[in-house]
Structure 1
Amino acid sequence: MEVRKAAAADVESMQQLIQQFADDGLMLPRTVKSLCEHLQSFTVAVEDGRVVGVAGLHVLWKDLAEIRSLAVDPQVHGQGVGRKVVEHLLHEAEQLGIAQVLSLTYQTGFFEKLNFHVVRKESLPHKVWKDCIYCKKFYHCDEVAMVYYTQHYEAFQAIREA
Structure 2
Amino acid sequence: MVRKARLSDAQAIHSLVNEYALQGVLLPRSLSSIYEHIRDFWVYEEGGEVLGCCALQIVWADLAEIRSFAVRKDRKGLGIGKALISSCIEEAKSLGIKKVFSLTYAKDYFERFGFRVVDKSTLPHKVWGDCINCVKFPNCDEIAVILELDGNAAGVLEGSLQIHRW
The TM-score with structure 2 as length reference comes to 0.86
Residue in 2 aligned with 1:58?
A: 57
Greater relative CO, 1 or 2 (CA 8 Å, sep 6+): 2
CA distance in 2, matches of 1:71, 1:41: 14
- Aligned partners of 1:64 and 1:128: how far apart in 2? 13
Q: Deviations over 1:93-146 (max 9, x none)?
A: 000000000110000111010110111111222444432244332232111100
Residue 79 of structure 1 deviates from its aligned partner by 1.0
**Residues in 1 aligned to 2:52 and 2:133: alpha-carbon distance in whole angstroms:** 23
In the alignment, structure 1 segments of 5+ residues that lack a partner are 153-162
1:28 and 1:129, CA in 2 relative to 1: closer, same or farther beyond 3 A? Answer: farther
Report what 1:106 is aligned to: 105
Q: Which runs of 5+ in 2 are unaligned?
A: 152-166
**2:26 counterpart residue number:** 27
Residue 159 of structure 1 is matched in structure 2 by none
**Cα distance per residue 1:27-56 (max 9 Å; x no partner):** 111111111111111000011111011010
- In the other structure, the counterpart of 2:15 is 16
Opposite residue 103 of structure 1, the aligned amino acid is S
Residue 136 (structure 1) aligns with? 135
Q: Which has the higher helix share?
A: 1
Match of 2:72 in 1: 73
Is 2:95 the partner of 1:93?
no
User: Match of 1:148?
Assistant: 147
Q: TM-score scaled by structure 1?
A: 0.88
Distance 1:11 1:35, change over 3 A: same
The alignment partner of 2:35 has SS state of: helix
CA contact (8 A) 2:117 2:143 kept: yes
**One-letter code of the match for 2:60?**
W
Moved more, 27-36 or 126-135: 126-135
Percent identity between matched residues is 44
Shift of 1:67: 0.3
Conserved? CA contact 1:60–1:128, under 8 Å: no
In 1, the alpha carbon distance for the partners of 2:50 and 2:131 equals 26
